[in-house]
Every structure is written in C-alpha cells, then in structure tokens.
Amino acid sequence: MTEFEFEEPDTLGEDLRMIRAQLRRFVREAIVPQADEWEQSGEISRELFLELGRLGFLGMRHPAEFGGGGMGAMSSVVLGEELARSSYGGVAAAVTVHSDMSISHIAHRGTLEQKRRYLPAACAGEKIGAICVTEPNAGSDVAGLKTRAVRDGDCWVINGNKTFITNGVQADIYVVAARTDPHAKGSRGISLFIVDRGTPGLTVARKFEKHGWRASDTAELFFENLRLPADALLGEEGKGFYYIMSTFQNERLVAGALSTGQCAKALELTIDYVRTRQAFGKTLWDQPVVRNKIAWMAAKSAAARALVYSCALMVDEGKEPVREVSMLKAFACEILQEVVHGCLQLHGGTGFIIGTPIERMARDARILTIGGGATEVMLEEVAKRL
C-alpha cells in the first residue's frame, strides 16, 4: 500500500517530524495487529498505555519536571493524526482523552503536590485518566450540569452521575466537574475535583455498547455520598466552567487532528482500492468521475488540515483563537463525514461489510461532529465572534 501524504508544514520542525515517524511505526507494529481484539472486548489493553508512556508519547504537552516533554500544541496534532491513521478511532480516542483532555487539567491547574502525585504515573501510562463532565441532561451545555459537591468540614461530598465517559471503566484518575454553589447562575459555581479509582461512593454503573469507537471503553458513573479531602479540589473553587472551556479548545484542536488523520487514511485505502478494482473493462481509477471525486475530497481534507495547523501555531504563539478553533472543529469534522462516506461509496459492497477498515472508519467518524461540542454549537460560537 502506498501511503497518502499531505505536504508537511514548515512550522512542524525536525523533532516533531521524527516523532511522527516513530508514531507511525508504532501504530503499524503495535496497534494495528491487536486492535481488532480491542474492538471485540470494548477496551484497549493497559499495556498499550505503558508502551506509549515508555516512548514518551503520553506526556508530550506536560511539564518535563513531572515526566512530560514540555512541548506545544503541535505535538498534540501529530499524536492525534498518527493515531487516527491506524483506522481505529476508539484507540485514538482513549489515548488522546488521557493525554490531552483529562490529565492536562492537572498539568495546568494542579497544585505542586497534585502534579507530583499524578503526572509522573500518567505520563508513564501507569495510571489512566478520564474527564467527567457530560451528564444525561448536560453535554455541550456544560453550564447545565447538576452533579453537586457540598462542603462538609474539611471534606467535599459529591452526589450525581456522569455519562458517556471515555476511559470510564479503566480510569485510575477521574477529573470530575460538580456544582459547588447551587445559587450561582449558569456557568458560575462549578468546580473540578480529582477522584481516585476505588474511592468509596464511586460506581461504574454500566459500560456502553457504541455505534463506533468500539475499542474505547465508555461508561456511566454514579457518585453517591463520595467523600473527598479538601485538597482534591483542582484549581480555584467556582472556576471549573472556565477550566473546562479552556481545555475544550485543545479537545477541539485534537478532534480536528483526528479528522484529518482519518481523512488521509480513508483516501489512502480508497486510492489503493480503485486502482485495482475492475469495472466495465477498466479500473475505477480510469473513470474520470472517480478520479475527480477523490481529488475533490483530497482538496477539502488538505484545507481542513491547513486550518488545524494554523490554529495549533496560534496556540503555540500564546494566542487564544476561540473563533478559529470553533471553525476548525465544525469544518474538519464535517469534512471527515463527507470523505469517509464518499470513500465508502467508492468501495461499493466491500465498504458495507463489517470488519473492513473503511466500514469501521465510517462508524467511528460519526461521533466527531457530536463530541467536544456539536457542530451546531461550534457554529454559534463562530457567529458570536463575527
């Protein structure tokens, strides 16, 4: 198979080019051969986290003094793209939720003691992270969450439930959003807490069977009189909403990278297929309508990727491109739907058979227009800033 490649941006740098090459080799040799088993079991092996940790891929954005790499947003983009090119979206989701969406809260806002306690093990893959925000009646609308944390002497007591939590079954470290001020309106009065696996009062109620991302475990959690020490509070009390919104920026950037990585893989698979598939006395590639469709999908994928890299560069320059990141989340994830389903169409009946890469990718792609901020929500964020 000939790998489909976009032109590498000059801003990437030699270190990240080397990391990309290492990641691609690791995906080919360590992920793809095992991923079908993970799809069947509904969770990836803990050994994968340990292997990624040993290679330094889980903490590239985290401080070097706690086991991380001290790198910028570009490293998250490279990680997301290369994991997505495995063609197993669930694997990419589980790893990036750990590295870029849950543990990152501790890296950015944790006390020195919290960082010492959690980051080295997380960067090494010895402990797995999950971010617990979504509730049955609060998804993209974070301000509507109902889980409560009440002060009781030197402790906090949490009651409520969370749903659709990636890594919820396997996680060792849960970053939980709860309302600490019931009288505050909307986004005010929400705080974050660190909850360890096995804390009395935490129950993994069920493991979901999903349309896609089947290799990642996704759970519903219940908190019943879960008691935490005062130092489990992460960051300042009442600032949780703003912390979540800030990390959403990175989550949306990673979602864009997952999208462009999947686009590249889908195009790679499809170009290989149509160059050998015979129809009406010639290959599909010899049909201009097929070549033009693939060229058009490649052009849109390249445009989405350019926006992803542009936003990553702005973040690394210290800017806060909320409008642009909202644009890329909407655009890249919608382009992915067009590309994977267009590629499935060109695979014909083969693309409809469970177990073929393009069929799996079409299922896995669907969640990306929903999770991390639905397309409709993202477009409203853009419109408010026009």
Q: 233 has which bridge partners? A: 193
**For residue 90, is it within any domain?**
yes
Residue 1, in any domain of the structure: no
Per-residue pLDDT tens over the stretch 149-170: 999 999 999 999 999 999 999 9
User: Which domain-ending residue is among 128, 158, 187?
Assistant: 128
d(CA 248, CA 59): 18
Q: In the prediction, which pLDDT does 10 show? A: 81
Residue 18 and residue 136 in one domain: no
Q: What pLDDT is recorded for position 76?
A: 96
Q: Are residues 161 and 212 in the same domain?
A: yes
pLDDT at 46: 95
The three-class DSSP label of residue 148 is strand
Check whether residue 41 and residue 109 sit in a common domain: yes
Mean pLDDT, residues 25-51 taken together: 96
Question: Do 271 and 344 fall into the same domain?
Answer: yes
pLDDT of residue 143 exceeding 70, the answer is no
Q: What is the CATH number of the domain that holds 161?
A: 2.40.110.10
What is the mean predicted confidence (pLDDT) over 225-235? Answer: 96
Q: Is residue 3 part of a domain?
A: no
The answer on 165 and 103 residing in a single domain is no
pLDDT tens digits, residue range 298-331? 999 999 999 999 999 999 999 999 999 999 999 9
Q: Which domain does 220 fall in, by range?
A: 130-237
- 124 and 175 fall within a common domain: no
The stretch 172-185 carries a mean pLDDT of 91
Residue 141 has pLDDT above 70, yes or no: no
Indicate whether 86 and 173 sit together in one domain.
Answer: no
* 99 lies in some domain: yes
Structure tokens at 363: 């299922």
Is residue 4 a part of any domain in this protein?
Answer: no
Count how many domains the chain has: 3
For 185-222, letters b (16+ CB in 10 Å) and e give: eebbbbbbbbbeeeeeebebeeebebebbbbbbbbbbb
- Least confident range of 143-152, 159-168, 368-377: 143-152
In this prediction, residue 50 carries a pLDDT of: 97
Q: Quick one: pLDDT at residue 282?
A: 92
12/144: higher pLDDT = 12
Q: Active site residue: 251, 268, 324, 334, which one? A: 251
Could you tell me the CATH number of the domain that includes residue 372? 1.20.140.10
Contact in structure between 75 and 19 (CB atoms under 8 Å): yes
Query: Which is nearest to 145 in space by CA: 83, 87, 103, 187?
Result: 187
Amino acid symbol at 206: R
Is residue 230 domain-shared with residue 263, that is, in the same domain? no
| pLDDT value, residue 138 | 65
Q: In this predicted model, what pLDDT tens digit does every residue of 63-110 receive, in sequence order?
A: 999 999 999 999 999 999 999 999 999 999 999 999 999 999 999 999
Mean pLDDT to the nearest integer, 255-278: 96
Final residue before a domain boundary, out of 82, 104, 128: 128
**Domain end position, chosen among 191, 207, 237:** 237
Confidence of residue 139 (pLDDT cuts 50, 70, 90): low
b/e string for 305-319 if b means 16 or more Cβ within 10 A?
bebbbebbbbbeeee
Catalytic residue flag (residue 251): yes
Residue 278 token pair: 């015979």
If you search the block for the tokens 């889908």, which residue do you land on?
266
Q: What is the pLDDT of residues 121-138, one digit of tens each?
A: 999 999 999 999 999 876
Q: Tens digits of per-residue pLDDT, 287-298? A: 999 999 999 999
Is 32 part of any domain?
A: yes
Q: Is 137 a domain residue?
A: yes
Q: How much is the average pLDDT of 337-358?
A: 96
Judge if 111 and 225 occupy the same domain.
no
**Domain match, 346 and 247 both:** yes
pLDDT of residue 136: 86
* Residue-level pLDDT at 9: 83
Query: Same domain, yes or no, for 317 and 354?
Result: yes
Q: What pTM does this model have? A: 0.93
Contact of 104 with 247, CB cutoff 8 Å: yes
